[in-house]
Amino acid sequence: MDLAAYPTTPAWDELVEHGRARASLGGFARFLDGVDLADLRVRQDAAEAAIRAMGVSFTVYADGGNIDRSWPFDVLPRVITAEAWAPVAAGLAQRLRALNHFLADVYGPQKILADGVVPPELVLSSPNYRPECLGMDLSHGVWAHICGTDLVRGADGAFFVLEDNLRVPSGVAYMLENRLITKRVFPELFRDLEILPVDDYPQRLHGLLSSLSPRPGHQPVIVVLTPGIHNAAYFEHATLAQLMGVELAEGSDLVVDADDIVHLRTVGGLRRVDVIYRRIDDLFLDPEVFHPDSTLGVPGLMRAWRAGNVAIANAPGAGVADDKVVYSYVPDMVRYYLGEEPAVDNVPTYRGDTDLRWILGHIDELVVKPANESGGYGVVVGPHASAAELEACRARLRADPRGHVAQPVIPISTAPTLTPGDPVAVAPRHVDLRPFVLSGADISVTTGGLTRVALREGSLIVNSSQGGGSKDTWILDPTV
C-alpha cells in the first residue's frame, strides 16, 4: 500500500509515520507496505458479508422507532505494540482499584467526603447516587465488576482516560465479533504474527461472576438480565449469555419469594439464581424501590441483594462513579486510597459547577458534555458547532451547571481507514479505545478492546449511534 500520499494531521497516527508504516509494528508494517488497495477492498467486502451472515447488528432509536443496522466495521485493524500497552493495562487496573475503594467508601464510612478530597454535595447530588445501597458490604469489596474505560491518545502518543463506564458498560461483544471477523479475512496474519488474544473474555467473565455466588460449593446459577429484544444492546446481551453458557432472562422471567430468594421460571419449575449480570439501569431494577411503574426489573430484587442471597454485577449504585463530574476527581482517588500517582491520567476537565464563567467564555474552543449521558448524546464540539448550537449549549450550562463538564479539544489519534467510493482510498479517521477491566478477587484487563472510529472526515464523535464504526484492536508483539 502506497502511504506516501497519506494525509498528515496534527494527530498521532496509529499506523503511519512519515509516509510509511511504523517500523515498531514489525511484520504488520511489512504487510502494509506490500498490500494493495484492491486486496483490502476484497477483504472489506468479505468482512461485510461475514457481518451479514453472522447477524452482527446494533439498534438505533430514530423517528420514534427502532432500526436494526449491520455493525459498521473497517477491515484495517488498529495496532498497538505489547510494550506500549503494558503500562496502560497496569494503569487501568490501578484506576479500577481506586474506583472500587471509592464506591465502598461512599456507601460506607464516607471518609473521602469527610476529608474534603471529593466535595460531599457533588457526590450526594449525583443522579446516580443511590442511598438505598448504604451499608452494603460486597464480596471482594467490589462494586464495579466490569468496567469499560474510554481511552484516547494525544498528539504525542500518550494515552488518557476520557471517561469510565461502570453502570452497564457495553461493547465487549463487538470486540469479540471484530476479532472473529478479522481472523476470517486476515488468516495469514494470525498465523505469522503474535497477536495477543481477546477470545478468552467470556470464560474470564464467567469465572468472575461465579466467584460472586453467595452459595460457595454449589454450581452457581447465573443469568444475564436484559431489558429485552428492543434494547439497543440486546445483541450483546444474547451473545454474552450464549458464550458463557448461562441463561438470558428478562425481568418477568425472575421472581423473588417470601424468603428473599431469586428464582428463574423454567419449564421444570423455579430454579434458584445466585448471580445476576444485569444490563438494566438501576432505576428500572426493582419497582418496589425505584421506578414503581418499571416492567423491566424484578419486584423484591433489592431485598434479595441486601439480604446477601443474590449477587448483582455491576452492583446497584456503581454508576455514581460514572458521573463525569466525579470522574474529574479519580486521580485524587488514586492518590488518596492507593498512595500512588495515576499511571494513566485524565483528560483535563472543567466542571460546570466551579468553572462556569470560564467555560462560557471559551465554549467555542471546548467539548461540552452532559455529566450523565452516554452514547455521544448531548455532546457539543465547540469548534465544529454553529452559533445557534453554542448559544443553546450556553443556556443548558446556565440552567444546570452541575450537570455538565467541558474538556479541551484533543487531536485524538487517527488510524488508516478505508473510505467509500471508487477508487478505493485510505484516509486518517479519529479513533478511541474501550478496553474492558474485570474486577473480583483479581483484576484482569483485555489485551486490546473495542476501537471505535469516526467514519466521517474530521469528526471526533466515534459512537455507532452517531455514525461511527469500529475496528479490531491488535496488541502485537513485534519481536515474534
> What are the extents of the domains in the chain?
16-214+310-342+411-477, 350-408
Q: Which regions in the chain score pLDDT beneath 50?
A: none
% of the chain beyond a pLDDT of 90: 78
pLDDT at site 166: 93
- Crossing angle of helices 201-211 and 172-185, rounded to 10°: 150
pLDDT at site 422: 64
Rounded CA-CA distance 331/335 in Å is: 7
Q: How many other CB atoms are found less than 10 A from the CB of residue 14? A: 25
363-401 pLDDT, tens digit each: 999 999 998 877 667 889 999 999 999 999 999 999 999
Rounded CA-CA distance 418/428 in Å is: 9
User: Is residue 92 within 8 Å of 149, Cβ to Cβ?
Assistant: yes
pLDDT at site 480: 63
Identify the three-state secondary structure at position 431. Answer: strand
pLDDT at site 176: 96
Identify the three-state secondary structure at position 114. Answer: helix
Do β-strands 57-62 and 65-70 pair in parallel, antiparallel, or remain unpaired? Answer: antiparallel
pTM comes to 0.93
Q: Pick 350-408's CATH classification: 3.30.70.141, 3.30.1490.270, 2.40.50.140, 3.30.499.10.
A: 3.30.1490.270
pLDDT at site 5: 79
